[in-house]
Amino acid sequence: MATGPAVQFDAVKGHALRAVGNLLNSRERIAAGLGLPTGALQQRTINAIAQGLQPRRVATGPCQEIGVDAPDLVRELPAPHFFPQETGAYITAGVIVALDRVTGRGNASYARLKLLGGDRAMVGIAPNHHLAVLARAAHARGDKLEIAVTIGNHPAVLIAATLYLRLGDDELETAGALLGEALETVRCQTVSLDVPAHCEIVLEGTLDLDEQHEEQLVSEYHGIYEPYGSGPVARFTRLTRRSDALFQVIQPGYYPEHTLIGGVAIAAGLAQTLRAAAVPVREVAVGHGGCGRLDAVVSLGAHRPGEPRKAMFAIWGHVNLIKNITVVDEDVDPWDAAQVAWAVAKRMRADRDLLIVPGARTDRSEPIKQDGVIAKMGMDATRRQADRPDWTRALPPPEVMQRVAARREALE
Ligand SMILES: Cc1cc2nc3c(=O)[nH]c(=O)nc-3n(C[C@H](O)[C@H](O)[C@H](O)COP(=O)(O)O)c2cc1C
């Protein structure tokens, strides 16, 4: 697991730009990037989803200090070729901004870009993502979809862009609410879109569903290659950037920055869904072990019989990707895999607490789906009074532990 330090490459052979990577590879780093203690991250994200804050357009921004027309992307960007069975170099930290021409609302989400030479790149978008919906709507009107790929964004934008919001909800508004102030945007120079003014690099162009590229194999968050087939090609009219731009790389595949940026955002969205369904949720985790996509752990506060199962069905109904759900009590940190295993070992009776739902619809990225469906599994690992009269945890007296902690602190 690449939990190491953030890395910066100052001299990339054949490139003027420097590259950075491995920035947000833990929840602690993501929270720090937002100026928050880790424990406050989920609630802050839930509030941001609910509130939103309109971006504020400014006249100029650092992301437009330099401009290049019809950019040769391979030459301009130090984009890595990551894995041996992939067939090209990829931009992996590109947050793509687009606009719904009907509602006038914006969208911002990640999609990988495979560089094809010159000003062309294939954009790999799951068909159910809103960016794909906007591209199909533009195509139905006989248009190409204007897009702006923004690279090197603030963590608030990076988290907001991976939230599952409703179609028409603008992730840049959520990014502003996460930041605590309106996100400053600038107008692009060759397309009618506003982009984060303080990002490092912007690629302005159009996405054409009529021009397709066969991607062949691509790595997924679960660590295996997927053959997704063909994807639409974008052509870029202009590249703008900071004069000292850093090219951000998010290591794709089963690596914690990729899994956790998604996992943190998906978990917050699920917690919000459960609150809306009146489930007494404390925190939801979608951690690295479950690839930041496939497994969720729900920690409930005091709850009534049946609420763990209600939580499971609400989550499956909300996010296709989630396959396995474990429900634990409030004394278990859902992000701590050992604590979750401890709760399952101690509190779950498989004949009663295991729920298997065969034949449920899943996402195209599910590694072992068949005909688009998979069995979903729920484990209720919460305490039951009927199982034993006393669940008291055997722990040393708190005052002794406090004295030990104070002594240790004095010795350090
Ligand atoms: C680092 C990272 C890379 C991602 N790459 C892709 C991708 O290549 N294709 C894709 O469809 N989704 C990708 N995603 C997931 C989408 O960004 C995410 O599902 C988003 O919510 C979709 O938003 P939309 O429905 O508004 O378009 C990625 C997420 C992360 C965190």
Distant-in-sequence, close-in-space partners of 86: CB < 8 Å, separation ≥ 6: 216, 217, 218, 219, 225
With cut-offs at 50, 70 and 90, classify the pLDDT of residue 2: low
On the question of pLDDT at 67 being above 80, the answer is: yes
- Ligand 1, closest atom to CA 132? 27
3-state DSSP assignment of residue 38: helix
* pLDDT > 70 in the chain, percent: 100
The answer to pTM > 0.75 is: yes
Tens-digit pLDDT profile for residues 373-382 = 999 999 999 9
Tens-digit pLDDT profile for residues 156-183 = 999 999 999 988 899 999 999 999 999 9
Tens-digit pLDDT profile for residues 95-148 = 999 999 888 999 999 999 999 999 999 999 999 999 999 999 999 999 999 999
For position 102, what pLDDT does the model report? 85
Average the pLDDT over 317-334 and give the result: 96
Task: For residue 110, give the DSSP letter.
Answer: E
In short, whether 258's Cβ falls inside 6 Å of ligand 1 is yes
> Where are the domain boundaries for CATH 2.30.110.10 in the chain?
7-249
For position 162, what pLDDT does the model report? 96
In short, whether 110's Cβ falls inside 6 Å of ligand 1 is yes
On the question of pLDDT at 57 being above 70, the answer is: yes
In short, whether 24's Cβ falls inside 6 Å of ligand 1 is no
For position 101, what pLDDT does the model report? 87
Least confident range of 60-64, 77-81, 113-117, 163-167: 163-167
Strands (E), 62-216: 66-69, 90-91, 95-99, 106-110, 112-117, 120-124, 145-151, 184-187, 194-196, 201-214
Chain mean pLDDT for the chain: 97
State the distance from the centre of ligand 1 to the C-alpha of 226, rounded, in angstroms: 15
For position 66, what pLDDT does the model report? 98
Average the pLDDT over 80-87 and give the result: 98
In short, whether 250's Cβ falls inside 6 Å of ligand 1 is yes
State the distance from the centre of ligand 1 to the C-alpha of 174, rounded, in angstroms: 16
> Where are the domain boundaries for CATH 3.40.1670.10 in the chain?
277-380
In short, whether 107's Cβ falls inside 6 Å of ligand 1 is yes
State the distance from the centre of ligand 1 to the C-alpha of 43, rounded, in angstroms: 22
Distant-in-sequence, close-in-space partners of 68: CB < 8 Å, separation ≥ 6: 76, 238, 239, 240
Tens-digit pLDDT profile for residues 347-368 = 999 999 999 999 999 999 999 9
For position 1, what pLDDT does the model report? 45
Tens-digit pLDDT profile for residues 234-293 = 999 999 999 999 999 999 999 999 999 999 999 999 999 999 999 999 999 999 999 999
State the distance from the centre of ligand 1 to the C-alpha of 162, rounded, in angstroms: 6
CATH homologous superfamily of 7-249: Electron Transport, Fmn-binding Protein; Chain A (2.30.110.10)
For position 412, what pLDDT does the model report? 86
Average the pLDDT over 67-71 and give the result: 98
For position 191, what pLDDT does the model report? 98
Q: Indicate the fold that domain 277-380 takes in CATH.
A: UbiD C-terminal domain-like (3.40.1670)
Alpha carbon 241 to its chain centroid, in Å, reads: 24
State the distance from the centre of ligand 1 to the C-alpha of 111, rounded, in angstroms: 5
Distant-in-sequence, close-in-space partners of 188: CB < 8 Å, separation ≥ 6: 148, 194, 195, 202, 204, 238, 240
